[in-house]
């Protein structure tokens, strides 16, 4: 084999090596982003479940209460029901779902139907609207600290 063939094969091997190294680096970054989104989605689902939890806890009465650090689906849930400043048929429910490094905060307005009286307590309150609180800095941290999630399994 002549020396030009050896140089050519060596150059091709080096180019392929750098290509594979770039693919592995990109794969680690994609995996990190996937874990970050997974954590945020789980925190959001915990917060959504917290709204149903709060409606069930309210029952037939209109009472304010606050509970924190409730273990919920491998995360934690904070629930606060506020009735001050609302009409007699409405209340505000604020839930915070936390999963690992992420947090989701939702505010819901619940209302009791005035036309019907229902016997089951979990049917007494209806969710009128849900407002998520989106924090920009949390999603910016995903892309600036990608290595934080690469070993998160």
pLDDT tens, 137-147?
666 665 666 55
Mean pLDDT of the chain: 78
Question: What are the pLDDT digits (tens) for 18-38?
Answer: 777 776 766 667 777 778 888
Could you give the CA distance from residue 128 to residue 22 in angstroms, rounded to a whole number? 49
- pLDDT over 50 at 104, yes or no: yes
Q: Which residues contact 57 (CB under 8 A, 6 or more apart)?
A: 65, 79, 81
How much is the pLDDT for 106? 92
| pLDDT class of 136 with cuts at 50, 70, 90 | low
Partner residues linked to 92 by β-bridges:
82, 109
SS (H, E, C) the chain: CCHHHHHHHHHHHHHHHHHHHHHHHHHHHHHHHHHHHHHHHHHHHHHHHHHHHHHHHHCCCCCCEEEEEEEECCEEEEEEEECCCCCCCEEEEEEEEEECCEEEEEEEEEECCCCCCCCCHHHCCEEEEEEEECCHHHHHHHHHCCHHHHCCC
Report d(CA 92, CA 55) in Å as an integer.
10
- pTM value surpassing 0.75: no
């Amino acid at each position: 084999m002549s020396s030009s063939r050896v140089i050519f094969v060596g150059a091709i091997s080096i180019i392929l090596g750098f290509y594979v190294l770039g693919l592995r680096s990109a794969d680690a970054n994609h995996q990190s982003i996937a874990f970050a989104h997974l954590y945020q989605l789980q925190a959001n689902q915990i917060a959504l479940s917290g709204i149903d939890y709060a409606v069930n806890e309210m029952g037939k009465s209109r009472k304010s209460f606050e509970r924190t650090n409730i273990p919920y689906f491998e995360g934690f849930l904070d629930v606060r029901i506020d009735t001050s400043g609302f009409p007699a048929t409405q209340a505000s429910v604020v839930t915070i779902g936390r999963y690992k490094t992420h947090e989701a905060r939702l505010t819901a307005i619940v209302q009791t139907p005035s036309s019907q009286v229902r016997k089951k307590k979990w049917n007494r309150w209806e969710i009128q609207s849900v407002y998520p609180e989106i924090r920009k800095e949390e999603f910016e941290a995903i892309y600036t600290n990608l290595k934080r999630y690469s070993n998160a399994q």
